[in-house]
Amino acid sequence: MKRIFYAGDSTVTFNKIDSYPQAGLSQGLQYYLREDVFVYSFAVNGRSTKSFIDEGRLAAIDREIREGDFLFIQFGHNDEKQTDPARYAPADTLYKENLERFVRVAWAHGALPLIISPVARRLFDADGRFLPGSHGDYPKAAAQAARELAVPFIDLTARSEAYLAAVGDAASRPMYVYPKDNSHFQLHGAVVMAGFIAQGLRDAGGEYAKLLISTLKKDEADVVKLTGAAFKDETV
Protein backbone atom coordinates (compact mmCIF):
# COMPACT_ATOMS: atom_id res chain seq x y z
CA MET A 1 0.00 0.00 0.00
CA LYS A 2 1.21 3.49 -0.90
CA ARG A 3 0.10 6.53 1.06
CA ILE A 4 -0.07 10.16 -0.08
CA PHE A 5 -0.28 12.80 2.64
CA TYR A 6 -1.73 15.89 0.94
CA ALA A 7 -1.26 19.22 2.75
CA GLY A 8 -3.07 22.27 1.47
CA ASP A 9 -5.99 24.67 1.63
CA SER A 10 -9.65 24.63 0.57
CA THR A 11 -8.78 23.90 -3.08
CA VAL A 12 -7.32 20.60 -1.85
CA THR A 13 -9.72 19.68 0.99
CA PHE A 14 -11.71 16.43 0.86
CA ASN A 15 -15.27 17.75 1.14
CA LYS A 16 -18.30 16.12 2.72
CA ILE A 17 -22.02 16.58 2.13
CA ASP A 18 -22.15 19.70 4.29
CA SER A 19 -20.09 21.58 1.67
CA TYR A 20 -21.67 19.95 -1.41
CA PRO A 21 -21.23 20.52 -4.33
CA GLN A 22 -17.70 21.68 -3.54
CA ALA A 23 -14.89 19.18 -4.14
CA GLY A 24 -11.14 19.45 -3.65
CA LEU A 25 -8.14 18.17 -5.54
CA SER A 26 -7.55 15.43 -2.97
CA GLN A 27 -10.87 13.98 -4.18
CA GLY A 28 -10.18 14.42 -7.87
CA LEU A 29 -6.69 12.96 -7.68
CA GLN A 30 -7.94 9.56 -6.55
CA TYR A 31 -9.44 8.94 -9.99
CA TYR A 32 -5.92 8.69 -11.41
CA LEU A 33 -4.27 6.50 -8.79
CA ARG A 34 -3.77 2.77 -8.53
CA GLU A 35 -6.06 0.75 -6.28
CA ASP A 36 -3.36 0.35 -3.62
CA VAL A 37 -2.66 4.09 -3.36
CA PHE A 38 -4.54 6.03 -0.68
CA VAL A 39 -4.81 9.81 -0.29
CA TYR A 40 -4.85 11.14 3.25
CA SER A 41 -6.03 14.73 2.97
CA PHE A 42 -4.67 16.97 5.71
CA ALA A 43 -5.87 20.04 3.82
CA VAL A 44 -8.08 22.50 5.69
CA ASN A 45 -10.06 25.45 4.39
CA GLY A 46 -8.43 28.85 4.76
CA ARG A 47 -4.97 27.67 5.69
CA SER A 48 -1.65 29.03 4.51
CA THR A 49 1.75 27.45 5.07
CA LYS A 50 2.05 29.69 8.14
CA SER A 51 -1.29 28.95 9.79
CA PHE A 52 -1.07 25.25 8.89
CA ILE A 53 2.24 25.00 10.75
CA ASP A 54 1.20 27.27 13.62
CA GLU A 55 -1.91 25.17 14.27
CA GLY A 56 0.17 22.00 14.62
CA ARG A 57 -1.05 20.40 11.39
CA LEU A 58 2.44 19.78 10.03
CA ALA A 59 3.30 18.26 13.41
CA ALA A 60 0.36 15.88 12.95
CA ILE A 61 1.79 14.78 9.60
CA ASP A 62 5.19 14.40 11.26
CA ARG A 63 3.66 11.92 13.72
CA GLU A 64 1.99 9.81 11.02
CA ILE A 65 4.17 9.82 7.91
CA ARG A 66 6.72 7.07 7.42
CA GLU A 67 9.26 5.69 4.99
CA GLY A 68 7.89 5.14 1.50
CA ASP A 69 4.99 7.57 1.92
CA PHE A 70 4.54 10.72 -0.18
CA LEU A 71 3.97 14.29 1.00
CA PHE A 72 2.23 16.56 -1.51
CA ILE A 73 2.50 20.25 -0.55
CA GLN A 74 0.19 22.81 -2.17
CA PHE A 75 -0.37 26.29 -0.75
CA GLY A 76 -0.53 29.88 -1.92
CA HIS A 77 -4.15 31.07 -1.98
CA ASN A 78 -4.04 32.18 1.65
CA ASP A 79 -0.33 32.90 2.05
CA GLU A 80 -1.13 35.88 -0.22
CA LYS A 81 -3.47 37.57 2.29
CA GLN A 82 -1.37 40.55 3.39
CA THR A 83 -4.08 41.93 5.68
CA ASP A 84 -4.16 38.75 7.79
CA PRO A 85 -1.02 38.35 9.95
CA ALA A 86 -2.09 34.86 11.02
CA ARG A 87 -1.84 33.63 7.43
CA TYR A 88 0.35 35.98 5.44
CA ALA A 89 3.67 34.53 4.34
CA PRO A 90 5.66 36.63 1.84
CA ALA A 91 6.45 34.63 -1.28
CA ASP A 92 10.23 35.07 -1.39
CA THR A 93 10.86 34.61 2.34
CA LEU A 94 8.52 32.91 4.80
CA TYR A 95 6.51 31.01 2.17
CA LYS A 96 9.66 29.43 0.74
CA GLU A 97 11.02 28.74 4.23
CA ASN A 98 7.78 27.02 5.20
CA LEU A 99 7.79 24.86 2.08
CA GLU A 100 11.28 23.73 3.11
CA ARG A 101 9.94 22.80 6.55
CA PHE A 102 7.35 20.54 4.92
CA VAL A 103 9.98 18.93 2.72
CA ARG A 104 12.32 18.29 5.65
CA VAL A 105 9.54 16.55 7.57
CA ALA A 106 9.15 14.16 4.65
CA TRP A 107 12.89 13.59 4.38
CA ALA A 108 13.22 12.93 8.11
CA HIS A 109 10.99 9.87 7.70
CA GLY A 110 12.25 8.64 4.34
CA ALA A 111 9.10 9.91 2.60
CA LEU A 112 9.02 11.48 -0.87
CA PRO A 113 8.01 15.17 -1.06
CA LEU A 114 6.38 17.01 -3.95
CA ILE A 115 5.75 20.75 -4.22
CA ILE A 116 2.72 21.91 -6.23
CA SER A 117 2.04 25.55 -7.11
CA PRO A 118 -1.48 26.91 -6.41
CA VAL A 119 -4.26 26.09 -8.85
CA ALA A 120 -5.61 28.95 -10.97
CA ARG A 121 -8.51 31.17 -10.06
CA ARG A 122 -11.21 31.43 -12.73
CA LEU A 123 -10.90 35.09 -13.72
CA PHE A 124 -12.05 36.59 -17.02
CA ASP A 125 -12.46 40.17 -18.19
CA ALA A 126 -15.63 41.67 -19.66
CA ASP A 127 -14.63 40.48 -23.13
CA GLY A 128 -14.20 36.88 -21.99
CA ARG A 129 -10.39 36.90 -21.97
CA PHE A 130 -8.71 34.90 -19.22
CA LEU A 131 -6.70 36.93 -16.69
CA PRO A 132 -3.59 35.03 -15.58
CA GLY A 133 -1.27 35.86 -12.69
CA SER A 134 -3.73 36.03 -9.79
CA HIS A 135 -1.19 34.28 -7.53
CA GLY A 136 1.54 36.84 -8.07
CA ASP A 137 5.03 35.64 -7.16
CA TYR A 138 3.90 32.51 -5.30
CA PRO A 139 4.14 30.02 -8.20
CA LYS A 140 7.66 31.29 -8.96
CA ALA A 141 8.63 31.02 -5.29
CA ALA A 142 7.29 27.46 -5.13
CA ALA A 143 9.34 26.55 -8.20
CA GLN A 144 12.45 28.12 -6.71
CA ALA A 145 11.98 26.26 -3.43
CA ALA A 146 11.65 22.96 -5.28
CA ARG A 147 14.70 23.69 -7.40
CA GLU A 148 16.85 24.68 -4.41
CA LEU A 149 15.78 21.58 -2.49
CA ALA A 150 16.05 19.33 -5.58
CA VAL A 151 12.55 17.91 -5.13
CA PRO A 152 9.91 17.33 -7.84
CA PHE A 153 7.68 20.26 -8.72
CA ILE A 154 4.37 20.51 -10.56
CA ASP A 155 3.52 23.93 -11.94
CA LEU A 156 -0.22 23.54 -11.49
CA THR A 157 -0.63 27.30 -11.83
CA ALA A 158 0.69 27.33 -15.39
CA ARG A 159 -1.13 24.14 -16.40
CA SER A 160 -4.49 25.24 -15.01
CA GLU A 161 -4.18 28.78 -16.37
CA ALA A 162 -3.43 27.43 -19.85
CA TYR A 163 -6.48 25.19 -19.62
CA LEU A 164 -8.82 27.99 -18.55
CA ALA A 165 -7.53 30.26 -21.30
CA ALA A 166 -8.16 27.49 -23.84
CA VAL A 167 -11.71 26.53 -22.80
CA GLY A 168 -12.91 30.04 -22.04
CA ASP A 169 -15.30 31.73 -19.64
CA ALA A 170 -18.59 29.95 -20.26
CA ALA A 171 -17.21 26.43 -20.57
CA SER A 172 -15.20 26.75 -17.36
CA ARG A 173 -18.11 27.88 -15.18
CA PRO A 174 -19.49 24.37 -14.43
CA MET A 175 -16.06 23.34 -13.13
CA TYR A 176 -16.19 25.84 -10.29
CA VAL A 177 -18.74 26.65 -7.60
CA TYR A 178 -19.93 29.41 -9.91
CA PRO A 179 -21.42 31.98 -9.43
CA LYS A 180 -20.69 31.63 -5.71
CA ASP A 181 -16.96 31.91 -6.29
CA ASN A 182 -14.20 31.32 -8.80
CA SER A 183 -11.66 29.53 -6.62
CA HIS A 184 -13.36 26.30 -5.52
CA PHE A 185 -14.35 23.35 -7.66
CA GLN A 186 -17.26 21.06 -8.23
CA LEU A 187 -16.25 17.42 -8.68
CA HIS A 188 -15.87 17.71 -12.46
CA GLY A 189 -13.46 20.61 -12.05
CA ALA A 190 -11.52 18.84 -9.31
CA VAL A 191 -11.06 15.82 -11.58
CA VAL A 192 -9.94 17.97 -14.52
CA MET A 193 -7.41 19.91 -12.45
CA ALA A 194 -6.17 16.77 -10.71
CA GLY A 195 -5.48 15.43 -14.20
CA PHE A 196 -2.72 18.01 -14.50
CA ILE A 197 -1.23 16.78 -11.24
CA ALA A 198 -1.36 13.26 -12.61
CA GLN A 199 0.39 14.44 -15.74
CA GLY A 200 3.06 16.04 -13.55
CA LEU A 201 3.52 12.77 -11.69
CA ARG A 202 3.99 11.02 -15.01
CA ASP A 203 6.58 13.62 -15.98
CA ALA A 204 8.40 13.27 -12.64
CA GLY A 205 8.86 9.56 -13.30
CA GLY A 206 10.21 7.00 -10.85
CA GLU A 207 8.14 6.31 -7.75
CA TYR A 208 5.86 9.26 -8.52
CA ALA A 209 4.78 7.85 -11.87
CA LYS A 210 4.19 4.45 -10.28
CA LEU A 211 1.32 5.95 -8.28
CA LEU A 212 -0.79 6.27 -11.43
CA ILE A 213 -3.33 3.77 -12.66
CA SER A 214 -1.61 3.83 -16.05
CA THR A 215 1.06 5.73 -17.94
CA LEU A 216 0.22 8.64 -20.18
CA LYS A 217 1.84 8.40 -23.59
CA LYS A 218 3.82 11.42 -24.71
CA ASP A 219 1.66 11.97 -27.79
CA GLU A 220 -1.42 12.22 -25.55
CA ALA A 221 -0.05 15.09 -23.46
CA ASP A 222 -1.75 17.86 -25.43
CA VAL A 223 -5.09 16.09 -25.14
CA VAL A 224 -4.82 16.06 -21.37
CA LYS A 225 -3.82 19.72 -21.27
CA LEU A 226 -6.92 20.74 -23.20
CA THR A 227 -9.48 18.31 -21.85
CA GLY A 228 -8.30 17.05 -18.48
CA ALA A 229 -8.99 13.58 -19.87
CA ALA A 230 -8.14 10.56 -17.74
CA PHE A 231 -5.15 8.41 -18.53
CA LYS A 232 -5.65 5.46 -20.85
CA ASP A 233 -4.89 2.03 -19.46
CA GLU A 234 -2.10 0.59 -21.59
CA THR A 235 -2.87 -2.93 -20.35
CA VAL A 236 -6.18 -3.06 -22.22
pLDDT in tens, 25-71: 999 999 999 999 999 999 999 999 999 999 999 999 999 999 999 99
d(CA 103, CA 45): 21
Q: In this predicted structure, what is the pLDDT of residue 214?
A: 74
Domain interval for residue 207: 2-227
Domain at 22, CATH number: 3.40.50.1110
Q: Is the pLDDT of residue 221 over 90?
A: no
Q: 73 in a domain, yes or no?
A: yes
How many Cα atoms are found within 13 Å in the side-chain-facing hemisphere of 216? 29
Q: Which amino acid is at 18?
A: D
pLDDT in tens, 72-104: 999 999 999 999 999 999 999 999 999 999 999
Q: 233 in a domain, yes or no?
A: no
Q: In this predicted structure, what is the pLDDT of residue 218?
A: 52
If one counts the domains in the chain, the total is 1
Q: 107 in a domain, yes or no?
A: yes
3-state DSSP: the chain helix, strand, coil percent, rounded to 5? 45, 15, 40
Q: 157 in a domain, yes or no?
A: yes
What is the rounded average pLDDT for all residues in the chain?
Answer: 92
Quick one: 58 exposed, middle or buried, by C-beta within 10 A (0-12, 13-18, 19+)? buried
Q: 232 in a domain, yes or no?
A: no
Q: 137 in a domain, yes or no?
A: yes
DSSP β-bridge partners for residue 74: 8, 116
Q: 234 in a domain, yes or no?
A: no
Q: Would you list the DSSP string of 124-190? A: B-TTS-B---TTTTHHHHHHHHHHHHT--EE-HHHHHHHHHHHH-HHHHGGGBTTTT-SSSEEHHHH
